[in-house]
């Protein structure tokens, strides 16, 4: 059965029309050394055997773990209608249409997404959409440079390390990116250092285009966003807030504390934490920056007969028209995922979203108490929402051993922030509304057992180590 | 017939030279070809430009085009009225629709520009 669109006969006719004798001749301009070498793939296999092999590979995934891993991607309960509606055939061409107004349903779905998110972030304009939170954050940084005609951006070190890496990649072409350090100790430990920010902004020779901070920050802590925004604006810079959308049901939205741009990861809105994505980049701005925001914008209008109609608007900023001078050429519309977010938000509604955020915070408070009783205390004293860092001696080894106990103990902070000594023995853990009491108890018991064995091993030497671990079990 | 006292570029900008200053806009023909203009992006005062360098962007409902400086110099004024009323470029391209004023650093460059007859011939040729 042929799966390809062209038969051998089709190909021969096309080659004859072109006056060449093989497809390879079309690639003659590419030097031999740069051409793709043949892929090292095994031969075809019968479907039954292939399915069995793939199932065996999939079986190596650990889906049985009690997970406390967040760090930018969060588990939530997704109402069954989200996936069911996504399966409808009408959405299979949800990708940005290039003759847009003929696809009113698709445009309406994008309009709904933009309207829902605009309400959530309390800003005027939302574009649909971006690859992920990291790409959206990097685009926000570029927007501040275009809008202010300055070439230097400050990013808080408490912004997700992957987002900062992506920013650095986007800024590698000649723009400057400086990091604002964290407060080392005291009541504000782990949040953006405002005094350092003020110093970085004061360099008159290197004016700052934008200041980027996250709420909650990567360590789960709440940042003084109003203050950060005031400092940014005081030196003529724009203020970018990196947000987690569920948190906005209970925290002040970016528009309320003067942010000019909001960026963030839309995955918590009805999208499962799939390995490696796909994700959904949220990007929003004030009306003043509408011409700088990359991505699709859909507006509502009326047609010649006065009926409600949707249009793709301000398209001239975009790559299909403006080519190399487009607002962005690293841009896509994650339309199906934006649709998932819209269905999720419309299904659970504003009160439901508040419940999700509040329950996550309540579960996290219980997690904090259970871990503290087990001997793993928080590293930072400041307020958090549903994610926080705990101190666990020999964190990396404990994390590895807890997997054997069926527990995914969050993220080893030393792996992602190796230059922060205060986080060297830190685990970043989170809870959401799907975190159960049983999971929390299992985690706390596992930590208690590991810490007991660690103490004994530290005082009596390693000879007794395995016996003590056994006893603790 | 285009205004006879102005000079023109092949990219459809017009220039009114007065002493060592020049006022710049786009021609009625260019505005008509672009259609309804919805946005004009202009440079900051003080910016220096080489002749034929990009100094801004004009956006209509159907296209976005770069604006080219007809003459070298530095920007002394930009037409702020266009931020709120970009349609002035369509309704009064040689008057209220002006874009920037430049202090010329090489006034002799004026000789390289088209005169009204030359520009008329250019647009007549399509």
**Residue B101: CB partners within 8 Å, gap ≥ 6?**
B21, B22, B23, B24, B75, B76, B77, B78
Chain A closest CA to B23's CA: distance in Å?
Answer: 23
CA–CA dist A128, A343 (Å, integer): 15
Contacts of A321 in chain B (CB under 8 A): 63-64
- Position A274 scores a pLDDT of 83
Q: Which residues of A touch B37 (CB under 8 A)?
A: none
Smallest CA–CA separation between B1 and chain A, in Å?
31
Average pLDDT of the residues in A288-301: 92
Output the pLDDT for position A38: 81
User: Are A250 and A256 in contact, with CB atoms under 8 Å apart?
Assistant: no
Between A241 and A35, whose confidence is greater? A241
Cα–Cα distance measured from residue A243 to residue A300, given in angstroms and rounded to the nearest whole number = 27
Residues of A in contact with B61 (CB under 8 A): 316
Q: What is the mean pLDDT of residues A91-107?
A: 76
Q: Of the candidates B44, B61, B64, which has its C-beta nearest A322's C-beta?
A: B64
Q: Is A360 helix (H, G, I), strand (E, B) or coil?
A: helix
Q: Which residues in chain B are contacts of A319 at CB distance < 8 A?
A: none
Q: Which of A299, A316, A320 to mutate to test the interface with B (most CBs of B within 10 A)?
A: A316
Averaged pLDDT, A428-434 = 98
Whole-complex ipTM: 0.71
**Beta-carbon separation of A149 and B41 below 8 A:** no
**Mutate which: B40, B64, B78, B83, vs A, most A CBs within 10 A:** B64
CA A390 to chain centroid: 22
Distance from the A120 Cα atom to the nearest Cα atom in chain B, whole angstroms: 29
Q: Which residue of B has its CA nearest to A149?
A: B44
Mean pLDDT, 10 residues at a time, chain B of 126 residues: 93 95 96 93 93 92 88 96 95 97 94 95 89
Angle at A319 between CA A274 and CA A125, to 5 degrees: 70
CA distance A91 to chain B (A): 28
Residue A457 reports pLDDT greater than 70:
no
* Three-state SS at A180: strand
State how far residue B103 is from chain A, nearest Cα, in angstroms: 22
* Residues of B engaging A, defined by a Cβ cutoff of 8 Å: 39, 41, 44, 57, 59-64, 66
User: Residue A320's pLDDT is what?
Assistant: 73
The chain A residues in contact with chain B (CB within 8 A) are 149, 291, 316-317, 321-322, 325
Do the Cβ atoms of B64 and A317 come within 8 Å? yes
Query: A40 falls in which pLDDT band (50, 70, 90)?
Result: confident
The answer to whether the CB atoms of A321 and B66 lie below 8 A apart is no
On the question of pLDDT at A90 being above 50, the answer is: yes
Chain B CB contacts of A148 under 8 Å are: none
Q: Establish, for the pair of chains A and B, how many residue pairs have beta carbons separated by less than 8 Å.
A: 18
Shortest CA gap B62–chain A (Å): 7
Residue A465: the pLDDT is 42
Interface contact flag, A316 B44, Cβ < 8 Å: no
* Chain B CB contacts of A325 below 8 Å: 57, 64, 66
Residue in A closest to B83 by C-alpha: A288
**Chain A residues with CB-CB distance to B41 below 8 A:** 291
Band (pLDDT 50/70/90 cuts) for residue A470 is very low
- Residue A462: the pLDDT is 46
- Cβ <8 Å between B44 and A317: no
pLDDT on residue B73: 96
Confidence grade of residue A466 (pLDDT, cut at 50, 70, 90): very low
pLDDT band at A226 (very low <50, low <70, confident <90, very high): very high
Phi-psi sector, A51: left (phi>0), alpha (psi -120 to 50), beta: alpha
Q: Quick check: helix, strand or coil at residue A151?
A: coil
pLDDT at A404: 93
Write the residue in B44, B59, B60 that is nearest to A149 by C-beta. Answer: B44
| Cα torsion through A434, A439, A441, A447, rounded to 10 | -120
In this predicted model, what pLDDT tens digit does every residue of A324-344 receive, in sequence order?
Answer: 778 887 777 888 899 999 999
Q: Is the pLDDT of residue A472 over 50?
A: no
Q: CB–CB of A457/A465 below 8 Å?
A: yes
The reply to whether residue A291 touches residue B39, judged by beta carbons under 8 angstroms, is yes
Strands (E) located in A57-163 = 66-67, 125-130, 152-156
Shortest CA gap B118–chain A (Å): 30
Check: CB of residue A94 under 8 Å from CB of residue A336: yes
DSSP string, A86-105: HTSGGGGG-S--SSGGG-HH
- Which pair of structure tokens corresponds to residue A102? 């003929």
| Closest-CA residue to B85 (of B70, B97, B101, B103) | B97
Q: Which residues on B lie below 8 Å from A322 (Cβ)?
A: 64
Tell me, what DSSP letter sits at residue B111?
G
Residue A452: band (very low, low, confident or very high) from pLDDT cuts 50, 70, 90: confident
Mean pLDDT to the nearest integer, A29-46: 88
């Amino acid at each position: 059965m042929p799966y390809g669109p062209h038969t051998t006969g089709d190909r021969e006719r096309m080659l004859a029309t072109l006056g060449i004798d093989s497809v390879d001749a079309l690639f003659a301009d590419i030097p031999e050394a740069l051409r793709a070498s043949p892929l090292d793939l095994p031969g075809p296999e019968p479907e039954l055997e292939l399915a069995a092999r793939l199932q065996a590979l999939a079986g190596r995934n650990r889906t049985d773990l009690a997970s406390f891993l967040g760090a930018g991607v969060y588990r939530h309960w997704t109402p069954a209608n989200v996936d069911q509606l996504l399966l409808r055939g009408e959405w299979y061409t949800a990708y940005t249409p290039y003759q847009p107004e003929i696809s009113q349903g698709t445009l309406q779905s994008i309009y709904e997404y933009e309207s829902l998110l605009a309400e959530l972030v309390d800003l005027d304009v939302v574009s649909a959409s971006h690859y992920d939170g990291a790409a959206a954050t990097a685009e926000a940084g570029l927007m501040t440079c275009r809008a202010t005609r300055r070439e230097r951006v400050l990013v808080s070190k408490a912004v997700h390390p992957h987002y900062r890496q992506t920013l650095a990649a986007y800024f590698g072409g000649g723009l400057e990116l400086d990091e604002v350090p964290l407060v080392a100790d005291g009541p504000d430990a782990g949040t953006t250092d405002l005094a350092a920010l003020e110093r970085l902004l004061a360099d008159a020779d290197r004016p700052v285009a934008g200041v980027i901070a996250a709420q909650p920050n990567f360590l789960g802590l709440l940042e003084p966003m109003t203050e950060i925004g005031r400092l940014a604006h005081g030196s003529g810079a724009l203020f970018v807030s990196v947000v987690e959308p569920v948190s906005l049901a209970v925290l002040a939205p970016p528009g309320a504390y003067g942010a000019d741009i909001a960026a963030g990861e839309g995955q918590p809105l009805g999208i499962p934490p799939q390995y490696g994505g796909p994700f959904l980049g949220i990007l929003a701005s004030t009306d003043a920056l509408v011409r700088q925001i990359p991505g699709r914008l859909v507006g509502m209008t009326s047609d010649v007969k006065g009926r409600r109609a949707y249009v793709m608007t301000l398209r001239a900023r975009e790559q299909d028209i403006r080519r190399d001078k487009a607002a962005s050429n690293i841009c896509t519309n994650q339309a199906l995922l934006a649709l998932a977010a819209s269905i999720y938000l419309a299904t659970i509604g504003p009160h439901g979203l508040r419940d999700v955020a509040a329950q996550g915070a309540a579960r996290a408070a219980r997690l904090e108490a259970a871990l503290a009783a087990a001997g793993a205390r928080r590293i930072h004293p400041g307020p958090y929402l549903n994610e926080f860092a705990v101190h666990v001696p020999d964190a990396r080894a404990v994390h590895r051993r807890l997997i054997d106990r069926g527990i995914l103990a969050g993220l080893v902070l030393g792996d992602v922030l190796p230059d922060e000594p205060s986080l060297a023995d830190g685990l970043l853990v989170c809870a959401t509304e799907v975190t159960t009491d049983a999971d929390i108890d299992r985690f706390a018991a596992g930590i208690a057992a590991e810490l007991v064995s660690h103490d004994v091993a530290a005082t009596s030497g390693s000879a007794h180590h395995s016996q003590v671990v056994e006893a603790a079990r | 017939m285009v205004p006879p006292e102005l000079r023109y570029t092949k990219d459809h900008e017009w220039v009114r030279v007065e002493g060592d200053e020049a006022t710049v806009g786009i021609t009625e023909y260019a505005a008509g070809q672009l259609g309804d203009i919805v946005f004009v992006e202009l440079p900051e005062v003080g910016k220096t430009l080489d002749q034929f360098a990009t100094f801004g962007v004009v956006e209509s409902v159907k296209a976005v085009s770069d604006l080219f400086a007809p003459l070298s110099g530095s920007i002394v004024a930009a037409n702020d009225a266009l931020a709120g009323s970009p349609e002035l470029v369509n309704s009064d391209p040689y008057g209220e629709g002006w874009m920037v004023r430049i202090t010329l650093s090489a006034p002799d460059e004026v000789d390289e520009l088209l005169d009204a007859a030359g520009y008329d011939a250019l647009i007549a040729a399509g």
